Structure 1
Amino acid sequence: MGVPDSEQRTPFYGVLMIIAALAAAIVVSYYGPAWLRVTVYIVAVPVVAVGFVFTLRDYSR
């Protein structure tokens, strides 16, 4: 028995979520009004948290 495909892709999706959130935060820190920066930072925090959980989730039982 192996790990299903969807479970093998979950860490990859987590890494993509982290990279996307960090990239968005970097972009708005250079180009963007203050209200957009704050909004992106607020959204980036939970996205990084969920991406972190996806990346480090343990499927061994």
Structure 2
Amino acid sequence: MVDREQRTPFYGVVLILAALGASMAVSYYGPTWIRVTVYILTAVVVVVGGVMTFRDYSH
């Protein structure tokens, strides 16, 4: 279980970076509805990644 707890923050950071990369990729290309969809999904994924990254395992 300890190994899994150590990987969780890493997965959170990877999620955040992937979401930011996706939003950067669509910021100049594609129709507006795709941009809005990606931006909304990016916000959700960043929140999930933040929770995974900063979760407290001390209890």
Q: TM-score, normalized by length of structure 2?
A: 0.93
Unaligned ranges ≥5, structure 1: none
Task: Note the residue ranges of structure 2 that are not aligned, 5 or more in a row.
Answer: none
Runs of 4+ in 1 over 2 A off after TM superposition: none
How do 1:40-59 and structure 2 match up within 5 A? Answer: 40-59=38-57
Q: CA RMSD in A?
A: 1.0
| Number of aligned residue pairs | 59
* Cα shift at 1:23: 0.5
1:28, 1:15 → 2: CA distance?
20
Q: Structure 1-normalised TM-score?
A: 0.90
Look up the match of 1:25: 23
| % same residue | 64
